[in-house]
Amino acid sequence: MHPVLVGGEWRPADAAGEFTAHDPTTGKPLDERYPVSSWSDCEAALTAASDAAEKLDGCSPDAIAAFLESYADRLEGAGEELAEIASRETGLPVRPRLLEVELPRTTGQLRQAAAATRSGEWRQPVHDEPLGLHTGFGPLGPVMVFGPNNFPFAFNAISGGDFAAAIAAGNPVIAKAHPDHPGVSRRMAELAAAAVTDAGLPPATVQMLYGMGPEDGLRMVGDRRLATISFTGSRASGMRLKAAAESAGVLAYLEMSSVNPVFFLPGALAEKGPDLAQELAGSCLLGSGQFCTCPNLCVLVAGAECDAWLSDVARTMSDREPTVLLSSGTLSTLETTVKGLVDAGAAIVTGGAKADRPGYYFQNTLLQVSGADFLESPVALQSEAFGPTTLAVVAADAAEAVAVAREIEGSLTACVYSAADGADDDLCQQLMGVLRRKAGRLLNDKMPTGVAVSPAMNHGGPFPATGHPGFTAVGLPVSMRRFAKLDCYDAVRPHRLPGWLQNE
Amino acid sequence: MHPVLVGGEWRPADAAGEFTAHDPTTGKPLDERYPVSSWSDCEAALTAASDAAEKLDGCSPDAIAAFLESYADRLEGAGEELAEIASRETGLPVRPRLLEVELPRTTGQLRQAAAATRSGEWRQPVHDEPLGLHTGFGPLGPVMVFGPNNFPFAFNAISGGDFAAAIAAGNPVIAKAHPDHPGVSRRMAELAAAAVTDAGLPPATVQMLYGMGPEDGLRMVGDRRLATISFTGSRASGMRLKAAAESAGVLAYLEMSSVNPVFFLPGALAEKGPDLAQELAGSCLLGSGQFCTCPNLCVLVAGAECDAWLSDVARTMSDREPTVLLSSGTLSTLETTVKGLVDAGAAIVTGGAKADRPGYYFQNTLLQVSGADFLESPVALQSEAFGPTTLAVVAADAAEAVAVAREIEGSLTACVYSAADGADDDLCQQLMGVLRRKAGRLLNDKMPTGVAVSPAMNHGGPFPATGHPGFTAVGLPVSMRRFAKLDCYDAVRPHRLPGWLQNE
């Protein structure tokens, strides 16, 4: 059984149990065995993280940046190996997805985080010389990161955006590896630990556990030696962690679920319906629909145009072969959620069931419901069906489309497609006014599935999409602000101010 | 019985009960009767706030700023009247405190908030033209403000810093008046409502209820029509509201309690002990010790110097007449807390009991405990004794003083007094390294009770001082960030971008 990374050392876990990953294409377990830690491992990691936080406070931005860059280099050096392990555990293709798209994104994030650490812009210093006040952001304290199953590199707890942002802001990380891809997490943690040593950072700057029992997990996130948790995953798990953390005063950044509504207005369908059908189907099926920004809900206004167009979308979806899902849990949750949507009044246009083959496959699925029925059960009909699935809401008229928009829960994104000739402009303006308040990122004429790593990105949004709509999980240096504490120095003798606050 | 301000109108409350304020100098009830609202008032306020939030989104920064400025003018115009009402309800003196210090601070905050709205700097726009991404902060949604009892103007839910910051960021406010000063809140709300009308803002931009039953209160803060609550008060109330809000995904900004440790190092005492004794006593007794930043804990290193100095502090405190406390609740909580400190091992040096006169008076109180005893019961000995009270912790040596610092809970401020000649520098550096992580504002050689309204101020800190150490409740425009949502526009057609994001 593999050891855990605690306090800078790979040491045998105090294991309460064990688990293996599975090959999603066959459903068969893989060979490697990973420990479920008991509390003593959690305790040791918390103590070491607490100690590392204080020591990291004395490390230079250059040392932190050097770690991030060295780690990025090592990930690239081991790219083929990492992609092969990840592919075996997740079913995601080595090329182009893992090696050519996700790995460069991951190393790019780490290098952008290094640059942000060096520049210090994230600290947002503010000086009031006459009053002797000097203020800006500093590290927050130990961060426990729970990565999701859908990005084994770019959102991995040990290598992804949260990891990079937390470290760049000077905080130690305890990574909780996702149980669907422990092998790639293990290999990355080895590279991270080596990079920590080379950069001369405190050994416990990076720690990793593979898992712990549910009770120990909740106890750990509610331990005040943690400053914050950062979680990406299901709403049910997120809400349990949120309650445990927040009741103890530990901050909880959560990215939980999002239906990412896309409104196709009548003029847009008239102008380029066939193209839009391809765009929607493509976005829904990208990565087997397992993106946080997958358009799970689309809204149309009834009309002849609309029926034909939905048939086109359905045909495009059913013509494509189902692709593999990440895990048995993803498959069973998807089955349950689709059944729930049908129970709530949606009709299946195409797909709707497990595909008839071994492994974790679900048919590409389009569901449909009237605007009136949606308005009867807006909560049930917004259950996120995580997979190659979308629900089309057909509103009777423009007013009903606006009423549907008003019922949208907090979402990462919302989009309106409208005619180029201005025919939809009035309705578009109304919808955007409503949707701005519902979503973190508002789009026009573009699918939401691309999430660029840009300082101007917002990968966030109102609850329940995330836990706080003032923060973003993607984009540097802004995503570091989640892991920052406001530090004010009042009449502090000038030579005692931290370097970044000493005025030129 | 006074009406409530809901939906832009003063209307009779649907009252489940009533209450009066009291004259703290006599303990006698005042004449005016105020309603405890039942749920229908809460429901009406929530609905109106939700509607106002959408309408405010369409109002210009100039209109919002005009409201804030007009309100400030009106408060000044009614200054004498307001100060008299507030003084009757709180026992705070009209002059200089209410009329000459707190009122100008309050109108200054409103005017700074107006300037911040106009400048738009708080939005922190970020552009990525090549990717078509434009991002910055926008309004969050309805804010429910719970003001404290200790600043009837500057932190009043209907006029204080949270109110100003929330409105300046474009959010409607539901103010929950503090039951200890409903009269001044009522009069201010009248002025606010008139200013709303004059500025042409949506009528429900400002609403006020005097109170509701505990169950309705928790139901209200957990209502998703609210975006956030902002609370200043006791830890017990704050934690109840936090749980109710956060379990529903409503954000909770809380300022709850803080002991504001002050370390007096040996060299500093040797250099200017008598001055420091006066400074400490003065800071502890300011406003009857009812400031959030009152130094409730001071830490010394044992020695002959130290004993004499504490006697000096005790004498200074006992020589001054007790001043009146805000309410019977403040008095009874203080009695209980001081008893709890004694039970936890502290000895009373001076004071320690209710003063022998009518009204709400408590003796100026100094308690003392050894560093070793403090380290035995660090939590119990950090109970905030809100009033003219401080606990001196006498550490055996420098190492024990550092150990005490490590046990300090999250606090608004922490301070180290050290010798001018550098004799304390090693210990000071160690302490500041520990205390930076514990407090929002770190001071040298200065009492924490002054909280300047400056862009470089931080009135915040780690839990349990507040709910989130990344935000400040004082200082504009930074305090507005609490009430802001990150809004990203992705490929949105340029003419549809909000004005503040349209590139020059």
> DSSP letter string over B104-128?
HHHHHHHHHHHHHHHH-GGG--EEE
What are the angstrom distances between the C-alpha of B360 and each of A97, B182, B291, B331, B387? 71, 18, 17, 6, 11
Same domain membership, residue B124 and residue B100: yes
Residues of A in contact with B462 (CB under 8 A): 227, 249, 485
Q: Report the C-alpha gap between A212 and A46 in whole angstroms.
A: 14
Listed by number, the residues of chain B in 407-436 with a beta carbon closer than 8 Å to a beta carbon of chain A are 410, 413, 428-429, 432-434, 436
Instruction: Examine residue B459 and state whether it is found in any structural domain, yes or no.
Output: no
The answer on A243 and A152 residing in a single domain is yes
Please state the pTM of the whole predicted model: 0.98
Return contacts of B269-276, CB within 8 angstroms, 24+ apart: B269/B300, B269/B305, B269/B306, B269/B309, B270/B305, B270/B419, B270/B423, B271/B419, B271/B420, B271/B421, B273/B305, B273/B308, B273/B309, B273/B312, B274/B312, B276/B309, B276/B417
Tell me the pLDDT band of A504, cut-offs 50, 70 and 90: low
B157 and B220 belong to one structural domain: yes
Residue whose C-alpha is closest to residue A261's, from A129, A419, A157, A408? A408
pLDDT tens, per residue, chain B with 504 residues: 999 999 999 999 999 999 999 999 999 999 999 999 999 999 999 999 999 999 999 999 999 999 999 999 999 999 999 999 999 999 999 999 999 999 999 999 999 999 999 999 999 999 999 999 999 999 999 999 999 999 999 999 999 999 999 999 999 999 999 999 999 999 999 999 999 999 999 999 999 999 999 999 999 999 999 999 999 999 999 999 999 999 999 999 999 989 999 999 999 999 999 999 999 999 999 999 999 999 999 999 999 889 999 999 999 999 999 999 999 999 999 999 999 999 999 999 999 999 999 999 999 999 999 999 999 999 999 999 999 999 999 999 999 999 999 999 999 999 999 999 999 999 999 999 999 999 999 999 999 999 999 999 999 999 999 999 999 999 999 999 999 999 999 999 999 999 999 965
Which positions of B are catalytic? 255, 292
CATH no. for residue A207? 3.40.605.10
CA distances to A180, B284, B306, B347 from B302, rounded to whole Å, are 57, 21, 6, 16
A421 with A483, same domain: the answer is: no
Q: Do A126 and B484 touch (CB under 8 A)?
A: no
| Cα–Cα separations (whole angstroms), residue A316 to A282, A312, A377, B343, B373 | 9, 6, 28, 75, 74
Is B433's CB within 8 Å of A486's CB?
Answer: no
Q: Are residues A478 and A432 in the same domain?
A: no
Separation CA A32–CA B51 (nearest Å): 56
Residues from chain A that touch B464, judged by Cβ atoms under 8 A, are 249
Residue A162 sits in the same domain as residue A280: no
Tell me what the pLDDT averaged over chain A comes to: 97
B484–A462 CB contact, under 8 Å: no
The count of domains in chain A is 2
Whether B50 and B89 map to the same domain: the answer is yes
- Looking at the annotation, which residues of A are catalytic? 255, 292
Question: Measured between CA atoms, how close is A136 to chain B, in angstroms?
Answer: 8
My answer on whether B301 and B222 are in the same domain is no
Cα–Cα distances in angstroms (integers) from residue A341 to residues A330, A373, B212, B292, in the given order: 16, 11, 39, 51
Q: Are residues A416 and A485 in the same domain?
A: no
Rounded to an integer, what distance in angstroms lies between the CA atom of residue A406 and that of residue B75? Answer: 38
SS3 B17: strand
Q: How many whole angstroms from its chain centre is CA A66?
A: 25
| pLDDT at residue A137, rounded to an integer | 98
In a domain, A66, yes or no: yes
Distance CA A434, CA B459 (A): 34
Is-contact B231 B375, C-beta < 8 A? no
CB count in 10 Å sphere of residue A191: 20
**Residue A472 touches chain B, beta carbons under 8 Å:** yes
DSSP letter, residue A355: -
> Cα(B158)–Cα(B497) distance, rounded to whole angstroms?
32
Q: Cis bond leading into B464, ω under 30°?
A: yes
Q: Would you call B131 and A452 a contact, using CB atoms and an 8 Å cutoff?
A: yes
Predicted complex ipTM exceeds 0.95: yes
Looking at the fold, whether B414 and B470 belong to one and the same domain comes out as no
Contact A478 B134 (CB under 8 A): no
Answer yes or no: do A485 and B464 touch at CB < 8 A: no
Establish if B141 touches chain A: CB-CB under 8 angstroms.
yes
Percent of residues, chain A, with pLDDT higher than 70: 100
Scanning B228-285, the segments in alpha helix (DSSP H) are 235-247, 266-285
The reply to whether residue A440 touches residue B53, judged by beta carbons under 8 angstroms, is: no
> With an 8 Å Cβ cutoff, is A499 touching chain B?
no
Is residue A369 within 8 A of residue A393, CB to CB? The reply is yes
pLDDT of residue B108: 98
Q: Is residue A418 part of a domain?
A: yes
Q: Which tokens go with B242?
A: 């936090």
Give the residue among B321, B319, B313 at the shortest CA–CA distance from B276.
Answer: B313
Q: Which of residues 283-312 of A touch B (CB under 8 A)?
A: none
Give the Cα separation of B490 and B469 in Å (integer).
30
The residues, ordered by sequence, that sit 6+ positions from A372 with a Cβ below 8 Å of its Cβ are A396, A400
Q: Would you place residue A304 in the very low, low, confident or very high pLDDT band (cuts 50, 70, 90)?
A: confident
Indicate the pairing of strand B228-232 with strand B206-209. unpaired
- Among all residues of chain A, which has the CA nearest to that of B473? A486
B409: nearest CA partner in chain A: A224
Span A385-406, average pLDDT? 98
Tell me, yes or no, whether A252 and A348 share the same domain. no
SS3 A230: strand
Q: Which residues contact A504 (CB under 8 A, 6 or more apart)?
A: none
Nearest-CA distance B379 → chain A (Å)? 13
Question: Does the structure show a pLDDT above 80 at A503?
Answer: no
> How many residues are present in chain A?
504
Is B15 a domain residue?
Answer: no
**Residue in A with minimal Cα distance to B240:** A247
The whole-number pLDDT of residue B304 equals 83
> The domain containing residue A369 runs over which residues?
262-444
B249 in reach of chain A (CB within 8 A): yes
Is residue B108 located within the same domain as residue B123? yes
- CB of B488 within 8 Å of any CB in chain A? yes
Residue pairs spanning A and B at CB distance below 8 A: 191
Q: d(Cα A228, Cα A179) in Å, to the nearest integer?
A: 21
Query: In this predicted structure, what is the pLDDT of residue B111?
Result: 98
